[in-house]
Structure 1
Amino acid sequence: MRDADIVAGRARPGQGAGRLVGSDRVLVVLKELAAHPGGVGLDELTRVVGSPKPTVHRALRSLRRAGLAGQDARGHYLLGDEFLRLAFAHHEARPEHVRLRPVLESLAARFGETTHYAVLDGREVVYRAKVDPPSGAARLTSTVGGRNPAHSTGVGKLLLAYRLTTRDDVAAWAGDRPMERRTANTLTTAAALAGELAAIRARGYAVDDEENETGVACLALPVYALAPGTPSGALSISALTYRTPLSTLVEAVDEVRGVLGRLGEGS
């Protein structure tokens, strides 16, 4: 396994971490701190990262000098205030996030379900914004910055449809790595995915029929924040099927398009 895979989050920090050097090790330590919002001790951090304690301590010292890590009264390490300031300032300044917030809020209120804005990153989607419904006891566990496989999500398939326009494109993207089966409904072959992407291009929207998580369905539409011809991301309404079945979302697709259009983000 390559060191870059570890830093990019495609492996647990301890897997092969002994090969990490310099800035790579600092990044692994930083990512591990993010997994412990209540703080983590040096011994546990050393064990998970898989590097000698003095080495991990040097990485922590570098992060603390930059304000990216801190230490609480118990001696536990956690993300620093400067890291949080940079992360939130950057997120709030994203043009697509600012422009789409009213759309997400409007649709979340209309359907009583969670709305997302996501972008494609290789074989995964990254959620850039999320709005929970104003009421309702059960809500989704997705988070801003969280990831899911592109092939099993409505937003992912929607964006792949505009990137992979031929069967050869899909086959090259899928490569030799198996596509994870998240549920019984997940598409796991290049042929099946190619057919689905062609259907998405024809109708202009994508669905997730409990393909990523059992009991959750999704309707996704393209968002054109940067250029009119290529989606910069995708908007989705993700619903708990026991209260909002997929058919209800699909029947309202023109209404959703209208909301996008009125706010200057039409598809």
Structure 2
Amino acid sequence: MEHTHRSGGATAPAPDSVDVVPRRDDGRLVGSDRVLAVLKILARFPDGAGLDELTRAIGSPKPTVHRALSSLCRAGLADRDARGHYLLGDEFLRMAFFHHEARPEHLRVRPVLESLAARFGEAAHYAVLDVAGSGMPGREVVYRAKVEPPRGAVRLTSTVGGRNPAHSTAVGKLLLAYRLDSEDAVRAWVRSAPLEARTARTVTAADELHRELERTRWRGYALDDQENEFGVNCVAVPVHVTSATVPSGAVSVSALAYRTPLSALVDAVDEIRAGLGGLVGLGGGR
């Protein structure tokens, strides 16, 4: 499946220095890109972070990061607490939650996920493919909704709004299967960026991915056999909300392999599909 699992609710690890928005050819962030980069980095520190820590994370000069933080604070998108740490502001959270709750698919899919989580005792997700903006399908999936099982000490750390590579997840392969419908299309997509080997089982070659997407289209569901993370497997089925031919998203059941083997999820695919009866236009296999 899709995310690391662990017990308890420890906070997310501090991020390394990464590019969170496109940079100029010389590597510098300028103007609004700088402010957006700081905002995205800030979201990775749920308990807040100091100026020095944020400067190291984003890899820009301290005065530059400070000016961006000041702009975000004036807009209410960031706040500074009594420790002098910066964190996301209440205005940002208000906008994010309002937008999320207003999405119609979130409201419609939640009862389905609750039913699946209770039935299997595992996490259920609804995810969509990220928008690439280049004419090609996105490289990542974004989780729009998640429901944990009522009981269980070990849980997945996936979060609403979180992302994972499309090629190594069941939801991602399901959605790619309907957008990369030829070997040439798969090869062009793979050439645009290398495919990360998340585990020893991850498919990273174009010809292998093409065959996997063909199998996914034929059977009407996708599998993640510990390909995104060792010890976690997943099955995903398509949901058609905006198109009768191309899924708008996918619903998945994600399980710890020692607790629910992949074969049990495969045997229950028809039951998972039946549980989607409340959603418009469930896609099936051939």
TM over 0.5: yes
In structure 1, what residue type is equivalent to 2:111? P
Instruction: Provide the rounded CA distance (Å) in 1 between the counterparts of 2:192 and 2:104.
Output: 36
CA RMSD after TM alignment: 2.0
> Unmatched 5+ residue regions in structure 2?
1-17, 131-137
* One-letter amino acid of the structure 2 residue matched with residue 104 of structure 1: L
Count of matched residue positions in the alignment of Structure 1 and Structure 2: 259
CA contact (8 A) 2:46 2:87 kept: yes
Q: CA deviation at 1:55?
A: 2.3
Equivalent in 178, 189, 194 of residue 194 of structure 2 = 178
Secondary structure, counterpart of 2:164 in structure 1: strand
Unaligned runs of 5+ in 1: none
Distance in 2 (CA, whole Å) between partners of 1:228 and 1:118 is 18
Partners in 2 of 1:163 and 1:263 — Cα distance? 21
* 1:244–1:174 Cα change, 3 Å: same
- Is the aligned partner of 1:78 residue 2:87? yes
> What is the CA deviation profile of residues 214-256 of structure 1, one whole-angstrom value per residue up to 9, with x for unaligned ones?
1111110001111222100111000111111111111111111
2:20 paired with 1:7: yes
Assess, with a 3 A threshold, how the Cα gap between structure 1 residues 236 and 17 changes in structure 2: closer, same or farther: farther
Which secondary structure does the structure 1 equivalent of 2:202 belong to? coil
CA distance, structure 2, for counterparts of residue 259 and residue 73 of structure 1: 48
Q: Secondary structure at the match of 2:151?
A: coil
User: Hey, what's the Cα distance between the residues in 1 that align with 2:88 and 2:26?
Assistant: 20
Task: Confirm or deny that 1:125 pairs with 2:141.
Answer: yes
The correspondence for 1:111, drawn from 114, 117, 120, is: 120
Select which of 25, 34, 39 maps to 1:25.
34
Verify the 8 A CA contact 1:18 1:50 in the aligned structure 2.
no
AA paired with 2:117? A
Paired residue type of 1:62: S
Q: Deviations over 1:119-160 (max 9, x none)?
A: 112111111111111101111111111111111110000001
Among 128, 139, 146, the alignment partner of 2:155 is 139
Determine if the alignment matches structure 1 residue 35 to structure 2 residue 51: no
**Corresponding residue for 1:230?**
246
Aligned equivalents of 1:207 and 1:17: distance in 2? 41
Q: Residues 23-102 of structure 1: matches in 2 within 5 Å? A: 23-102=32-111
Q: Distance in 1 between matches of 2:187 and 2:142?
A: 22
State the SS of the aligned residue for 1:217: strand
More helix by percentage: 1
CA distance in 1, matches of 2:187, 2:129: 18
**Does structure 1 retain, via aligned residues, the 8 Å contact 2:167–2:173?**
yes
Q: Distance in 2 between matches of 1:119 and 1:244?
A: 24
What CA deviation, in whole Å up to 9, does each residue of 1:57-98 have, x standing for no partner?
221111111100111112221110000111111111111111
Regions of 4+ moved over 4 Å:
none
Give me the identity figure in percent: 70
| TM-score, structure 1 normalization | 0.91
Instruction: Say which is worse superposed, 58-67 or 176-185, in terms of deviation.
Output: 176-185
Report what 1:217 is aligned to.
233
Contact 1:222 1:234 (C-alpha < 8 Å) held by counterparts:
yes
Q: Find the aligned partners of 1:214 and 1:44 in 2 and give their Cα distance.
A: 31
Preserved CA contact (<8 Å) 2:239 2:279: no
